[in-house]
Amino acid sequence: MRPVVVLVSAAVTAVLLTCAALFASAGGDLVPGSAFPEVVPGSPGTPEPGYRPVVPDPRGNPSRPPHQPGPRAVDEIVRSALVKAAGRSTVSAQVFDRQSGTSLFEESADRKFRSASLVKLMIAIDALARGSERAGSTRMTQMLSLSHDDSASALWVAGGGGQIVRRIAERLDLDAEPPQPDGRWGNTMISARDVVKIYDYVLDELPDADSETIMRALRSAPEIAADGFDQHFGIPRALDGLPWAIKQGWSAGGGSMELHTTGVIGDDDRFVVVVLTKTTGGAEWGWGSRMTTAATLALRPLLVR
């Protein structure tokens, strides 16, 4: 594997400064007085984060070539920035280079989180495989692009609920687990490594028409989801200027809040980026969105050449 470190020093500096600013704007510590709504996944009353950061240009000053640290140093710098941005939240991340077939970065990539709407990727693959939905399906597009919950619930029931997770996990060799004990799709357990495998499968293994149905929906994900939530946290804001296709997840209940940003980044869908977060003890959506965006920004030096 050839090193993926070009013009990194300036990028790292920009990322660290912006992560620090975002973390400070988030208030640093969690907001202890805020309670979580007992909703999985998000409800129509979910407040919009309304976060609009300006991401610094990681290229720095082109007239002054920066010192280029080695791959190990870059990994350590990125990991430190990621953990600092996450603060007291639990974070998992993976960056996978589809061109070289190698993982560029991993942080607790096997840790399982409540999936929230990320399971909709599995629902889509299963529905297309069973033929219950055809390529170009409007319901499929709404479920993925707008993160439409009613569409997901209809396909979940039609596919046998938790059996969907079992089928896809077996087919893709995932560690994902169906939701227990209530069977609600948002409570499926999934890891960053699972999500990377799902994207790789969609792009490399699905029939072209099915793959394009899913990817077109992810590329057209609007800022505001069907339930009114601002779903452009994480990748769209931290990695602005880069081509992306995203599936986001947000949920709260049982004393914790999950915010996940995942997708395919770059020309020719080269990189898969996954950042999963979980916050306990009280917080609010705006804080969580800023935290997840700052954590994603920490990964930018791995993607910008």
pLDDT at 67 (0 to 100): 55
pLDDT for residue 189: 98
Tell me how far apart the alpha carbons of residues 118 and 278 are, in angstroms, rounded to a whole number: 14
Q: Is-contact 265 219, C-beta < 8 A?
A: no
Task: Report the pLDDT value the prediction gives residue 181, as an integer from 0 to 100.
Answer: 82
Tokens of 13: 């500096």
Q: Which of 145, 116, 146 is nearest to 256 (CA)?
A: 116
Q: Extract the residue ranges of the chain whose pLDDT is less than 50.
A: 1-9, 11-13, 16, 20, 23-60, 62, 64
Question: In this predicted structure, what is the pLDDT of residue 283?
Answer: 86
3-class state of residue 253 by DSSP = strand
Which residues does 83 contact at the CB level (< 8 Å), separation at least 6?
A: 91, 107
Strand partners, 94: 106, 274
pLDDT tens-digit profile of 220-269? 999 999 999 999 999 999 999 999 999 999 999 989 999 999 999 999 99
Cα 17 → chain centroid: 22
Gyration radius of the chain over CA positions: 18
- pLDDT of 305 reads 61
**What CA–CA distance (Å, rounded) separates 206 from 70?**
37
In terms of phi and psi (left: phi > 0; alpha: psi -120 to 50; beta: otherwise), the region of 82 is alpha
The pLDDT of residue 68 = 59
Residue that is written with structure tokens 């990320």 in the block: 118
Contact status, residue 151 vs residue 159, Cβ threshold 8 Å = no
pLDDT score, position 29: 34
CA distance 12 to 75: 11
Structure confidence by residue, pLDDT tens digits, 174-213:
999 999 887 999 999 999 999 999 999 999 999 999 999 9
Shortest CA distance to 101 belongs to which of 273, 299, 271? 271
